[in-house]
């Protein structure tokens, strides 16, 4: 089935009709992106009915953990349909992310390196939750934030490495935008398109070289999230420690209670035996004592002879 509105066309199977209409409505209603003029290229959105079709249609361009793909050369996006697992994420947020890729490439073509491309798409989609990955990344505290250039390889690594790299890329673009509280990324993207150089664009937009921003960003990121990561790691370690100790503590308490019960039982038995022995001894010696007392009783008092 095909659905059209504005500059968008969505193709989907009948089972994904509701999702297709929802994605089309979202694309039309939110068709602006931070720092960019409104895009005008026609975009085709294809909803894959299941993971198998998705993998076939995207080929080997997306890692196993990938949820969707944008193809700037043809202005196409392939997303997973209603049969997708939770790993595919929220379809609306995912679509917004992929549309940002297309909008950025429509304006800058192939200029953005991968870290900026992914960081911008995440920033435009409002994926602020990615910061949670940094707050639990102990490597930030131990080794510091990686260079921006090294993020490119991390973005295509394993899922764990990629999660941290996406979060760092998002943070880098968000921190660049924060350098100008009024215009955000607008001047940066404009100067980048004019000069073809990110370093020159950063200099003109924010008044400092890219390497100065990068050094400060790495330092701030380590201070900001490294302490949180250590605290999180310590809390987690303590939780694991307590989880492992709790059964041992409970077992020890049970053994102690059992031993105490045995000791108390033995003590009661000993007390009972002692009491019985005393009673027996008293019972055996009571009658002779009374007879002797009668024989030796003094005469009644009277006048002296």
Region 190-218 average pLDDT: 96
DSSP character at residue 93: H
- Binning pLDDT at 50, 70 and 90, where does residue 137 land? low
Say whether pLDDT at 155 is over 90.
no
Q: Are 39 and 31 in contact (CB under 8 A)?
A: yes
- Binning pLDDT at 50, 70 and 90, where does residue 226 land? low
Give pLDDT tens digits for 3-26: 999 999 999 999 999 999 999 999
For residue 181, give Cα distances in angstroms to 120, 177, 237, 238. Answer: 17, 7, 40, 41
Supply the mean pLDDT for the chain: 82
Pseudo-torsion of CA 142, 144, 145, 147, nearest 10°?
-120
Q: What is the pLDDT of residue 134?
A: 66
- Binning pLDDT at 50, 70 and 90, where does residue 302 land? very low
Say whether pLDDT at 116 is over 60.
yes
- The Cα–Cα gap between 189 and 257 comes to 72
> Domains in the chain, ordered, with CATH?
1-110 (3.40.30.160), 112-259 (no CATH)
Q: Global pTM?
A: 0.72
Give pLDDT tens digits for 126-135: 998 877 766 5
- The Cα–Cα gap between 57 and 177 comes to 35
């Amino acid at each position: 089935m095909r659905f059209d509105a504005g500059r968008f066309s969505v193709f989907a199977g009948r089972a994904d009709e509701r999702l297709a209409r929802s994605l089309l409505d979202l694309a039309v209603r939110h068709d602006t992106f931070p720092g960019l003029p409104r895009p005008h290229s026609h975009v085709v959105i294809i909803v894959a009915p299941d993971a198998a079709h998705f993998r076939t249609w995207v080929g080997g361009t997306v890692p196993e953990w990938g949820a969707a793909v944008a193809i700037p050369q043809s202005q196409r996006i392939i997303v997973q349909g209603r049969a997708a697992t939770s790993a595919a994420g929220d379809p609306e947020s995912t679509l917004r992310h992929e549309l940002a890729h297309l909008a950025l490439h429509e304006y800058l073509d192939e200029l953005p390196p991968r870290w900026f491309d992914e960081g911008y798409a995440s920033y435009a989609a409002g994926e602020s939750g990615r910061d949670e990955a940094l707050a639990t990344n102990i490597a930030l505290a131990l080794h510091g934030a990686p260079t921006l250039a090294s993020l490119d390889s991390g973005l295509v690594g394993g899922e764990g490495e990629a999660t941290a790299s996406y979060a760092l890329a998002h943070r880098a673009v968000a921190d660049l935008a924060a350098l100008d509280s009024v215009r955000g990324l607008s001047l940066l993207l404009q100067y980048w398109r004019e000069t073809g150089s990110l370093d020159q664009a950063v200099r003109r937009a924010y008044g400092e070289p890219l390497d100065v921003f990068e050094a400060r960003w790495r330092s701030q990121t380590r201070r900001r999230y490294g302490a949180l990561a250590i605290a999180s790691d310590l809390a987690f370690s303590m939780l694991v420690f307590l989880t492992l100790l709790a059964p041992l503590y409970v077992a020890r308490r049970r053994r102690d209670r059992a031993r105490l019960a045995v000791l108390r039982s033995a003590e009661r038995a000993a007390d009972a035996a002692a009491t019985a022995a005393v009673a027996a001894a008293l019972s055996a010696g009571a009658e002779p004592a009374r007879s002797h007392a009668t024989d030796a009783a003094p005469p009644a008092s009277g006048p002296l002879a």
